[in-house]
Amino acid sequence: MAPTPRRLRRGRSGVILVAILVSVFVATSASGQDTHGARVVSFAIESRFVHQTMAVSAVIPPHSSGKGRALLVFLHGKGENQDSQLVTAMFAALAGLGSRAPDVVFPYGGADSYWHDRSSGAWSAYVLDEVIPEAVHRLGADPSRVAIGGLSMGGFGALDIARLHPGRFCAVGADSAALWAQGGETAAGAFDNAEDFARHDVLAAARSHDPYHGLAVWIDVGTLDPFRAADTQLDSELTADGQQVQFHIWPGGHDQGYWQAHWPNYLGFYAAALASCRRG
């Protein structure tokens, strides 16, 4: 949903009042989904890192008591956008958390950026140094309680960003993460070249050490998901290093039906992890 433009109206006193609505608060999302009382805020970032104007959607949970809520940064999948997960299942799950619900920000990350710094732009820097500060500013979220997660391409991005920036997050979650054991197996466009893959090889990092020490970690994948083997391998590598991982394999594939069925699980994990965390 685009920001509402500036408009003028005349007050009772005859003085012209300027109403600047940079965000829109609605009872339904841009796709017409029931928000269950949450407020959807849309804004744009003129990114110096990816050299584009990037759309961002954020959700303030229902019955919010004001500023100081925890913040979840959720990264979308390949071919999706900032509104793809503004679905009734997500809004219902958020409402079900009551006072524990975090603000949730959904940045646009391009069609196939895979959320890592590469030739097309510094995508992780965009998340860390533009999306999060702007969300904290606009929503009044608590900068010491931030989690990052995502699905498919975004699940990979969340895992990669969290491992490369220790101390920035309270938790990391990956739903059906797009992971590959070798560079030659990757999807077209996921990485620039072999060197780019090596710099962002989450599985290799987990084999050599625990990159998420101190973080709450969530990984889930469907029984029919093509990334099941790689996601299971990541869980095995992390647990071998002593990392506590909430790992789940549930019936389903790599699709919206699977993800929407598990929004209560996803948001429940983040709410619990954020409740007791303070960073920075």
Closest CA to 196 of 180, 211, 207: 180
pLDDT digits (tens, 9 = 90+) for 96-132: 999 999 999 999 999 999 999 999 999 999 999 999 9
pLDDT at 141: 95
Q: Measured between alpha carbons, how far is 275 from 111 in angstroms, rounded to an integer?
A: 33
Structural domains in the chain (count) = 1
Q: What are phi and psi of 45, to 5 degrees?
A: -120, 125
3-state secondary structure at position 249: strand
**Whole-angstrom distance, CA of residue 40 vs CA of residue 105:** 10
Between the alpha carbon of residue 155 and those of residues 15, 32, 38, 158, the distances in Å are 51, 26, 24, 5
**Which of the 8 DSSP states describes residue 159?**
H
- 238-250 confidence digits (pLDDT tens): 999 899 999 999 9
pLDDT at 11: 37
Q: Encoding tokens for residue 116?
A: 């890592």
What is the rounded radius of gyration, in angstroms, for the C-alpha atoms of the chain? Answer: 19
- 270: domain CATH number? 3.40.50.1820
Distance CA 111, CA 27 (A): 28
Residue 126 domain-assigned (yes or no): yes
In a domain, 16, yes or no: no
Residue 130, in any domain of the structure: yes
Stretch 205-213: mean pLDDT, rounded? Answer: 93
Q: What is the pLDDT of residue 274?
A: 97
Cα–Cα dist 8/11, whole Å: 10
Tell me what the mean pLDDT of segment 64-75 comes to. Answer: 88
Which residues are registered as beta bridge partners of 175?
Answer: 151, 220
Residue 243 resides in a domain: yes
Per-residue pLDDT band at 215 (split at 50, 70, 90): very high
Residue 100 CB neighbour total at 10 angstroms: 17
Residue 66 has pLDDT above 60, yes or no: yes
Answer yes or no: is 255 within a domain: yes
Domain range for 175 is: 36-275
Question: Higher confidence at residue 174 or residue 15?
Answer: 174
In a domain, 54, yes or no: yes
SS3 content of the chain, % helix, strand, coil (to 5): 30, 25, 45
Average pLDDT, the chain: 89
Q: Across residues 204-233, what is the average pLDDT?
A: 96
| Structure confidence at residue 30 as a pLDDT band (50, 70, 90) | low
Higher pLDDT, 236 or 2: 236
Cβ-contact 124, 117 below 8 angstroms? yes
